[in-house]
Amino acid sequence: MKNFTNQSLLLILILFSGYGYIASCTQDAISPLPAAASNAPVITRGTDILLPKSMTVGDTSAWKLDKAHCNVMWSTNYVGAAGLLTGRFNQFGMHDVTDDKMLNYVTAGQPLKDTSWAFYENEPSKTYFNGYVQINQSNTGEPGRDAGCNITTLGTTAIVAGTQNLTVTNLAKIKTTDVKFDPTSNDYIVTLNLTWKGTLAAPLTKSVVGRLKYIRRNQVQFGTSAAYSVFGFQLKFQLNARDFGIASTSISDKVDIECNMNFNNK
Amino acid sequence: MDNSFVAYLQLLEILAFFSGYPIIFLLVKYFDQFPGLKSITKILFQSLPFSYGLIGLLFLGFEIRNAYPEFDIAHFQHPYLIFWGILSLLFLVPKLINQSSWSLYHSLVFLLIMIKNVFETYQLDSSHSQIKNYMNIYSISLGFNLAILLLAFLSKILLQRSNPRSDS
């Protein structure tokens, strides 16, 4: 009887062991895993077409550069090895300044209409930009630097009050040669011709590549004023100051440029 | 975070020591009925309580190592089960060393806990990963108990050869 009990217990334990090992080797049917999340960037592009036309006031289809709310900034490492030196250009515009327009303009406002651009959100091949800055209008917030070493270092001439100096010594300009979609974001990759004389004998044109961000148009309305629309561009690129004969050791070879342009259709 | 995971790990540790003993015991008992194997199974059967006591000794050492250096009772998530396991040291006491059935009853407590847990988790854990854990522990325990039994068996044979009059 005792043997029978022992053998029964042994049988139970063997059965349990078998059950345990079989159960541990199986698993319930698992519902299929959900599809893996896509790593592709979410890119949405609209069909906005934005043109300056003749910049007629009141024409809501004509987009005007709101210069008072724009800036063109530069930054470079101080002595090429320290923190950033930064500044902005007080005078700039979006016009294709051809040789015949490289003059001194006696005016406090924009010397040329900001009409040399077009933006097609979904057709970058049709998009183009022209822009310029007046080099002697670099503003670091340190008058001694702006009116002093900057003028000689950058090979230009001092500011003449009431005059917009678009002559060859004081003009740096960009002109797009290619605009295409950035495959990794909503931005655009822009190839530009940068023309600047610097301290060279004649202006030099270098091709640079930048990134253009379109800040989508929106309608705004304040108080009882009529509603209007705005949009923005942000363009970033880099240039090598040494290419243009800038020998100052205070600034690094590489200078970053950031243009923040705002437009409205008032 | 509560201590449930620590408690689970500590339970697996305890089961690793003792849960394999019953089936080893019953297998030896089963083969003991074959006359051809009698000479071996007799010594094996006599070695069982001693081997179980040895396992208890190793278990005590393991728990002391785990408790070092704080020796805080709060560290132990299953104090009663640990105490029950340490009681297996009694099978090293000469008066109990021949009580092989008691060692079976003692170790069945651990095996029953394992069986209960395996059946409970079967429905809850669709991947059966916990059952895999238990069965891995069970396999380790089988091997461990078998190894200790063989050690006890060899010790007994050596003892008998060095002292032929020794019978127990």
Q: Which of residues 96 through 155 in chain B touch A, CB cutoff 8 A?
A: 111, 115, 118, 122, 126-128, 131-132, 134-136, 138
What would the pLDDT profile of A4-46 be if each residue is shown by its tens digit? 678 888 888 888 888 888 888 876 666 677 888 888 888 889 9
Q: What's the whole-number mean pLDDT along residues A147-161?
A: 90
pLDDT of A160 > 80? The answer is yes
By Cβ distance, the residue of B22, B128, B135 closest to A13 is: B22
Identify which of B26, B126, B128 has the shortest CB distance to residue A10: B26
Across chain A, mean pLDDT equals 92
Residue B167 pLDDT > 60: no
pLDDT of res. A100: 95
Q: Which residue of chain B has the CA closest to A26?
A: B128
What class does CATH assign to A60-264?
A: mainly beta
Q: Mean pLDDT, to the nearest integer, of A156-184?
A: 95
Asked if B23 lies within 8 A of A3 by C-beta distance, the reply is no
Mutating which of B105, B135, B140, B141 best tests the A interface, going by the most A Cβ atoms within 10 A?
B135
Confidence of residue B1 (pLDDT cuts 50, 70, 90): very low
Distance CA B26, CA B16 (A): 18
pLDDT digit string, tens, across residues B17-26: 999 999 999 9
pLDDT in tens, B103-144: 999 999 999 999 998 888 887 776 778 888 888 999 999 999
C-alpha separations of A102 from A90, A135, A155, A173 in Å: 18, 13, 16, 11
pLDDT number for residue B138: 92
Check A28 against B127: CB less than 8 A apart.
yes
Tell me which chain B residues have a C-beta less than 8 angstroms from the C-beta of A10.
Answer: 23, 26-27, 29-30
Q: How do the domains of chain A map onto residue ranges?
A: 60-264
The single residue listed with the structure tokens 């105490």 is B83
> What letter does residue A251 receive in the DSSP assignment?
B
The answer to whether residue B101 scores a pLDDT higher than 90 is no
The tokens for B6 are 């620590």
Contacts of B78 (CB under 8 A, 6+ apart): B7, B10, B11, B14
Round to whole Å and give the CA distance between B87 and B53.
9
User: What is the Cα–Cα distance from A167 to A104, expressed in whole angstroms?
Assistant: 6
Contact A9 B26 (CB under 8 A): yes
pLDDT at B110: 93
- What does the pLDDT average to over A196-201? 94
Q: Which of A1, A5, A6 to mutate to test the interface with B (most CBs of B within 10 A)?
A: A6
Q: Long-range contacts of range B157-160, CB-CB < 8 Å, 24 or more positions apart? A: B157/B43, B160/B43
Residues in chain A within 8 Å Cβ distance of B30: 6-7, 10
Collect all residues of chain A within an 8 Å Cβ-Cβ radius of residue B135.
20-21, 23-24
Q: E strands, A46-127, where?
A: 49-50, 64-65, 71-77, 84-89, 92-93, 104-106, 117-120
Count of CA atoms in the C-beta half-sphere (13 A) of B14: 27
Nearest to A6 among B29, B111, B131 (CB): B29
Any idea what the Cα angle at residue A201 is, between residues A197 and A205, rounded to 5°?
Answer: 40
Give the nearest partner residue to B128 out of A9, A14, A23, using CB atoms. Answer: A23
What's the pLDDT at A1? 57
CB contact under 8 A, A20 and B33: no
Domain limits, chain B: 4-162
Indicate yes or no: CB of B33 within 8 angstroms of CB of A3. yes
Q: What is the SS3 assignment for B2?
A: coil
Q: How far is A121 from chain B (nearest CA, A)?
A: 52
**What pLDDT digit, counting tens, does each position of A61-100 carry?**
999 999 999 999 999 999 888 899 999 999 999 999 999 9
At B165, is the pLDDT very low, low, confident or very high (cuts 50, 70, 90)?
A: low
Read off the pLDDT of each residue in B41-46 and give the average, rounded to a whole number.
88
CA distance A39 to chain B (A): 29
| Confidence label for A191 from pLDDT (cuts 50, 70 and 90) | very high
Q: What is the pLDDT of residue A19?
A: 85
| Best residue of A13, A15, A19 to probe chain B, by most B CBs closer than 10 Å | A13
Query: What is the interface pTM, i.e. ipTM, of the complex?
Result: 0.79
pLDDT by residue (tens digit) across A108-147?
999 999 999 999 999 999 999 999 999 999 999 998 889 9
The overall longest dimension of chain A from CA atoms, in Å, is 123
Residue A204 CA to chain centroid, in angstroms? 23
